[in-house]
Amino acid sequence: MMRTTILMIIAFVLLWNSGFVGAEFGLPYTSPFTFMLWRYIGVTLIIMVFAALRRRLRWVGWSAAAPAMLVGILAHGVWLICVLLSLDYGVPSGIVAMVVALQPMATGALSGLVVGEPTSLRRWIGLLVGLAGVTITLWARIDFSNTQSVLGYLIPFGSVLSMTAANLIQRRLELYRPAQRLSVDVNLFYQALATTVVMAIPAVFFEDLRVQWTPEFMGTLVWLVVAVSLGAYAFMWLLLIRMEANRVAALFYLGPPVTMLMAWAVFGHTLLMTDVAGLAVVFAGVILTMLPFQQKEKGKG
């Protein structure tokens, strides 16, 4: 049982964080919104077939579909397009992963304000410490005389804000509208469908759906659809069955070092000393954020 859980954790961490490297690998062949459109066409079709085979594909009404679509646009569309746009500006994938790793801390800190759940001072301090660690890294890398450099490194914060908003909206729905809860596959179908529609507008009108359909790009697209969008997501849900939610959330903090290692292997990206220092400070913030939960669990035992 424990060995299976460990293998699932390794699979989830590797698959999830390969998405950053896969996105950077595929961008030379297309533009960000077009990349997102084709990826989510694939995701939507696969989930649609799966839900139809299980006889769960149906119209659930706007009162249930609209919130799922909103969460999908934020959690998939805005989150990923900010990652892609940042990569398109030349920001290394490992640095993007470091910025977006702030999201679980931001969700934990803001949950008290939005859904009324208790938020400890330690969570707020942990978030601020994590933000300080990211600042150390970005400050050394940003060329402040270059507007594109500044913009590129700031865009991933849009991912943090959108995913945090999506998580808090989803949490409010679970607390205050449990009767409208959808099954995982139906919920994900509406999320992916909404993301596809939203991405289609800029992809068609601003990027003309330009794609170089090379074997490298098609292989990357298949990997992102099957292994990352579906495989990593499936492992996350399986882990939530076996582990506490806060422990699963902590796995996202492994993103920066794992992605940096992958980016080094694939692209030859190098680490600066300020990157290492920033990572250390971010992990100090993670420890501050997670410590209260560990103490509570020990007290129960």
Is the full-model pTM beyond 0.75? Answer: yes
- The residue range of the domain holding 91 is 2-300
- The count of domains in the chain is 1
Per-position DSSP letters for 65-134, written without gaps between them: HHHHHHHHIIIIIIHHHHHHHHHHTT--HHHHHHHHTTHHHHHHHHHHHHH-----HHHHHHHHHHHHHH
The tens-digit pLDDT sequence of the chain (301 residues) is 678 888 888 999 899 999 999 999 999 999 999 999 999 999 999 999 999 999 988 999 998 999 999 999 999 999 999 999 999 999 999 999 989 988 877 777 777 666 666 667 777 787 788 888 888 888 888 888 899 999 999 999 999 999 889 888 887 787 777 666 788 889 999 999 999 999 999 999 999 999 999 999 999 999 999 999 999 988 888 887 777 666 777 778 888 888 888 999 999 888 888 888 888 888 887 777 666 444 444 444 4
- Cα separation, 264 vs 112, whole angstroms: 39
- Cα separation, 52 vs 155, whole angstroms: 37
Going from the C-alpha of 181 to that of each of 60, 68, 229, 251, the distances in angstroms are 10, 9, 21, 26
For residue 125, the one-letter residue type is I
Residue 24: name the closest of 65, 83, 69, 68 by CA. 83
